[in-house]
Amino acid sequence: MFHKTVNQKIEKIERNAPCWCGSGKKYKTCHMQFDEKLKKFAMAGYIVPDRSLIKTPAQVEGIKKSSVINRACLDNVGKAIRAGMSTQEIDDIVYETTVSMGGIPADLHYEGYPKSVCTSINDEVCHGIPDENIILKEGDIVNVDCSTILNGYFSDGEVSEEKQRLVRVTKECVEIGLQNVKPWRCLGDMGDAVHQHALKNGYTVVKEIGGHGIGLQFHEDPFVSYVSKPGTEMLMVPGMCFTIEPMVNMGTDRIYEDENNGWTIYTGDGKPSAQWEIQVLVTETGAEVLTW
């Protein structure tokens, strides 16, 4: 997901009118205090989410059902993955699992993407396209990233398979990011925590591609950076849903795009890159993980 800009405004609602969240309650007994708090942050110069980014309980339920399929895809790939297998076989597993459970692979035909999953090996940072001629070898780092649509709700998650410290540290980065998802704090606090853990281990983090809001669309605002500074970027508020998916490089953070397929991103120096992805919901007290 590439960077895009964010803008928002908080529209006024009459106290006794029904709340915008669809709860059926009056605004004054539902999200009115929440909006007032949000407005204070906006006045103080923080970037705040607009209402389209705040998921209602019914929407969260829909996203959770979608994530069950996403999890099943990754579990099925995890069970089957082995040296000698083609990345097309991974694509077949994701497609079959998703469709048999009533879902649609969100990647398939997304902006012309030709397959149901991204399989990115070694120096491929992301958006590797499955192919029957690409065969996994012993010791490869393989990033399997799939997303699911069920009843219009989107989920997104991925696993890395390998044998290297890079993959372990990248997973730790995601866990540390998760610990730093707290309501009424900035996304930059989370992003910086991820970044520092990578740097401490001698690695770099890709700047141009990051995470994203998700739920009612595949890629919603905000863009989620993992090289951001504390106290910057959008405020995290209860009901927001986004991914934590840092791409951690062993060498340079420079990347380039495959000019032939227009999708696959590689590291600038040919050294390996790893990624893990979870989808989280910001709650009143912290975060709930929707896809692991």
Residues lying near ligand MF3 in the complex (CB under 6 A):
1, 107, 110-111, 113, 118, 127, 145, 147, 156, 212, 243, 245, 263, 277
CB 235 within 8 A of CB 47: yes
* Residue 94 binding partner per list ligand MF3, Co ion, none, with a CB distance cut-off of 5 to 8 Å that depends on partner kind: none
Residue 35 vs 119, nearer CB to ligand MF3 = 119
Residue 19 vs 224, nearer CB to ligand MF3 = 224
* Residue 34 binding partner per list ligand MF3, Co ion, none, with a CB distance cut-off of 5 to 8 Å that depends on partner kind: none
Question: Would you tell me how many other CB atoms lie within 10 Å of the CB of residue 192?
Answer: 22
Encoding tokens for residue 165?
A: 């410290």
* Residue 113 binding partner per list Co ion, ligand MF3, none, with a CB distance cut-off of 5 to 8 Å that depends on partner kind: ligand MF3
* Residue 192 binding partner per list ligand MF3, Co ion, none, with a CB distance cut-off of 5 to 8 Å that depends on partner kind: none
- Least distance (Å) from Co ion to the CB of residue 156? 4
Residue in the structure block whose two tokens are 């590291």: 267
* Residue 35 binding partner per list ligand MF3, Co ion, none, with a CB distance cut-off of 5 to 8 Å that depends on partner kind: none
* Closest by CA position to 236, among listed 246, 247, 244: 244
CB 265 within 8 A of CB 209: yes
Of positions 59, 97, 228, 243, contacts Co ion by CB under 5 A: 243
Residue 192 vs 245, nearer CB to ligand MF3 = 245
225 is a contact residue toward Co ion (CB under 5 A) = no
- Least distance (Å) from ligand MF3 to the CB of residue 22? 27
220 is a contact residue toward Co ion (CB under 5 A) = no
Question: Would you tell me how many other CB atoms lie within 10 Å of the CB of residue 16?
Answer: 9
Residue 113 vs 153, nearer CB to ligand MF3 = 113
Burial class (CB in 10 A: 0-12, 13-18, 19+), 210: buried
Residue 63 vs 118, nearer CB to ligand MF3 = 118
- Least distance (Å) from ligand MF3 to the CB of residue 125? 11
- Least distance (Å) from ligand MF3 to the CB of residue 210? 9
Residue 156 vs 189, nearer CB to Co ion = 156
What is d(CA 84, CA 131) in angstroms, rounded to the nearest whole number? 13
| 222 Cβ neighbours under 8 A, 6+ residues apart | 6, 47, 49, 53, 187, 212, 213, 233, 234, 242
- Least distance (Å) from ligand MF3 to the CB of residue 95? 13
Of positions 35, 89, 124, 156, contacts Co ion by CB under 5 A: 156
Q: Which residues bind Co ion (CB under 5 A)?
A: 156, 243
